[in-house]
Structure 1
Amino acid sequence: MKVADAMNEHVPHIETGTKVTAAARKLARTGVADLAVVDGYGRFVGVLSEGDLLRAVLPAFSELMDRDSLREGYDLFEEARARVSDHPIERFLIANPITVAPNDDITRAAGIMAARMIRRLPVVRDEQLIGTIARADICAAALAGVAAARG
């Protein structure tokens, strides 16, 4: 079975140059943990993860412990948010992430995910993002294959 047989073609994505605030809104609206990032020509350039954005605005635990009140801790959070909200997403981009091609065997994708503890991989053909494949997609494809074989 090939990656193309199990991938999801509907990929939440965002373009380079987008501001952090807009990216955070899109992450919240779509409910995904990361967004694929493409340039103005649709070429895949990387991934923006909600975890990386969150780490950019969360104060360090030690900073919070040095504060006398919850309000002072919140002020640290607000200061960090103000510093990064108008920045373009490129600052937080995971550039050159591992990708797979649509004609790769699905076991290759599964092996990469297991070895690297990755939940989802971008599927790229000729620099263009054409989908993603997630562990859940592989599980569904594998179980459907088992059911068909027992059929």
Structure 2
Amino acid sequence: MNVQEIMSKDVKTVTSSDPIKKAAEIMKQVDCGSVPVVDQGKVIAMVTDRDIVVRAVAGGKGPDTPVKECMSQTVVTVSPETDARKAANTMADNQVRRLPVVQNGQLVGILAIADLARKNIYVSESGHALSDISEPNRQSNAVQH
């Protein structure tokens, strides 16, 4: 099974100039901890709930602070044709719960660990990914497109 068969196509995004409040509202609405940051449909970063708390709020910045002041610029992506098992391993290796799905440089979807688990086909892969994602302070040095 490929990523395109299980990814979400309705992806909520922010731009780097949007306020962090908008990103937080999307996270609340979608019930997730990260949102892709896009520029003309291209993923340029991710902003996480942790980015907002640690890089913005803890630094005394308010809700109108632009996303660019706290976003994570290392982005790990997959293509729609990526095998779901490989995507699960990519999540585990990079300790992320959501992967932007990119085709021809443009965001076309997002794959969440919950998408893998919902299919019941990749229970062991998503369980492995979740276990590895939850490892404390493991560093990721890979950027994959």
TM bucket (normalised to shorter chain) is 0.7 to 0.9
Which consecutive residues of structure 2, in runs of 5 or more, have no partner in the other structure? 123-145
Report what 1:93 is aligned to. Answer: 71
Report what 1:49 is aligned to. Answer: 48
Report what 1:116 is aligned to. Answer: 94
Structure 1 residue ranges (4+ consecutive) displaced by more than 6 angstroms after TM superposition: none
Identical counterparts, % of pairs: 29
Secondary structure at 1:57's aligned position in 2? helix
Secondary structure at 1:87's aligned position in 2? coil
In 2: Cα distance, 1:17 partner to 1:129 partner: 18
Q: Which entry has the higher C-alpha Rg, 1 or 2?
A: 1
* Cα deviations by residue, 1:10-67 (Å, 9 ceiling, x for unpaired): 112112311223333333333321111111x2222111101110113137xxxxxxxx
| 2:112 equivalent to 1:127 | no
The structure with higher relative contact order (CA 8 Å, sep 6+) is 1
The structure with the largest helix share of the pair is: 1
Which consecutive residues of structure 1, in runs of 5 or more, have no partner in the other structure? 60-79, 145-151
| 2:32 equivalent to 1:32 | yes
Residues 1:128 and 1:20: Cα distance change in structure 2 (over 3 Å): same
Residues 1:19 and 1:46: Cα distance change in structure 2 (over 3 Å): same
In 2: Cα distance, 1:113 partner to 1:29 partner: 23
Counting matched residue pairs gives: 122
* Cα deviations by residue, 1:70-107 (Å, 9 ceiling, x for unpaired): xxxxxxxxxx1xx3433311121111411000011112
Report what 1:23 is aligned to. Answer: 23
Residues 1:30 and 1:136: Cα distance change in structure 2 (over 3 Å): closer
Secondary structure at 2:52's aligned position in 1? helix
